[in-house]
Structure 1
Amino acid sequence: MAIVLLLRHGHSTANEQGVLAGWTPGVGLTERGRRQARDVAGRLSSLTLARAVASPLQRCAETAALALADAATAPETDDRLGECHYGAWTGLHLAQAAKDDLWRVVQDDPAAATFPPHDVYRAESLLTMAQRVVGAVRDLDAEVEAAHGSDAVWLAVSHGDPIKAVVAEAVGAGLAGLQRVRVDPGSLSVVQVTPTRMVLLASNTTAGDLAPLVSVPRHTPAGDGAVGGGDGGSSTTDRSPNSPAGT
């Protein structure tokens, strides 16, 4: 089945200020974030991407443009990959948010967390956000596979909480496991989407060759784990451009 690379945007001005950006306009990358995105471009050079889809928010658009500067694939946008709608928490300093009673709900019972309403910024629950993003990844992955085959690799550029939701889904933790996942700015996580489940291949990587991370067991049905843990590469399907199998 197709594989998705989940790229969190690079370090942003909101990250620098310690605020929850949400859908605030005008939040772009810092110089550190631009370096991170350029580093991603180097990591992607070993792969052929079938498609790239990004959140429409500025920090993701800037990250996608830099990460794909040398690629043949131009990024598209999809609102479903956008950040959680934090409502009245939008623009809030994280230190201040931590004093709110809702903070403990977000940490300990994410499925019960709904952000407070606001006159300007939409509010949604973490559950709605997770369903939106996981559903989008499944839909987009199916489109990629239908158009490019089961060996295709594609890129989704999104935000911390949305990517955490997909990773939590991939390891079977669901939304309850959201805060057990770390996704740093500029990091890549790798997920295989199969008919039965998502499978996590790598999480929160910030350096190194991506080709081994998009390899899956060759002799195991899609979605099944290799009994015993696999052999580390000799029985995997290599999806890099220079693969001996031509995949």
Structure 2
Amino acid sequence: MAKLEPYKGGYYLWQYLPSLAAAAIFTIAFIAATGMHFVRLSQWRARFCLPFAIGGIFEIIGYAARAWAHFSTGSIMPYSIQSVFILLGPVLFAASVYMTLGRIIRSTGGEHLSMLLIRWLTKTFVLGDVVSFLVQGGAAGMMASGSNATLGKDMVVVGLLIQIIMFGFFMVTAVMFQIRLQGRPTPGAVDGRIDWREHLYLLYGVSLFIMVRSLFRVVEYVLGNTGYPLTHEWTLYIFDAVLMVLAMVAWLVWYPAKLARPDMGLEMLSREERD
């Protein structure tokens, strides 16, 4: 029978026995969502959506490791795997969000309305995302190895704050672009081939999910092992797992496929109408 066991010297990696049922449910949910993302990728070849699908793989690995941890609470391996992969999955989601904004701006011909020069826009946000990924990944590795857990937690908080700041800047950039485009519509914005408002609303929604999740993780790490989040498992599932599933589902429902190439979107729609 599964029970809470110490790792070394009476130190407990977990403050509770990880729920097998919850981990299994979300592993299955992420498998289903990630599978659909790869189906969409094969249909539309929207390469800017690839990081989103890979992020789903990270989530699958993370929650599968939590299911494993239910039977091995004294083992560092499942604890480390779930910590790293659940932490980093949303960073990959963010990369697709950032790249999508650049495609919306180009597809509407609204480059002159962007706060940032279009050649720097995607690079700026993706670079911030890469820095956040590397900081959080390195910090998670330090925590997993036990080499310097305290420094590792501090670095995770820094990485999450970088992500939050970049999302804040991203939201301002996207909103300002929408306001300017609505005030001075371009020919590309009114020809009807690309529903740019719908795509922007998708970015706002998914960004909000990731932002709330990142704020929760900051609070979690700041409060530490004795804080409420790390002593009550339900908080992780409500403020991380559920939000990330919703982000993946929203991306599927309002998939920005036509941004891969506007003409391709019209071709596929015509084919579907013939069928």
Using structure 1 for the length normalisation, give the TM-score. 0.32
In terms of fraction of residues, the more helix-rich structure is 2
Greater gyration radius:
2
> Highest relative contact order (Cα 8 Å, sep 6+), 1 or 2?
1
Using structure 2 for the length normalisation, give the TM-score. 0.29
In terms of fraction of residues, the more strand-rich structure is 1
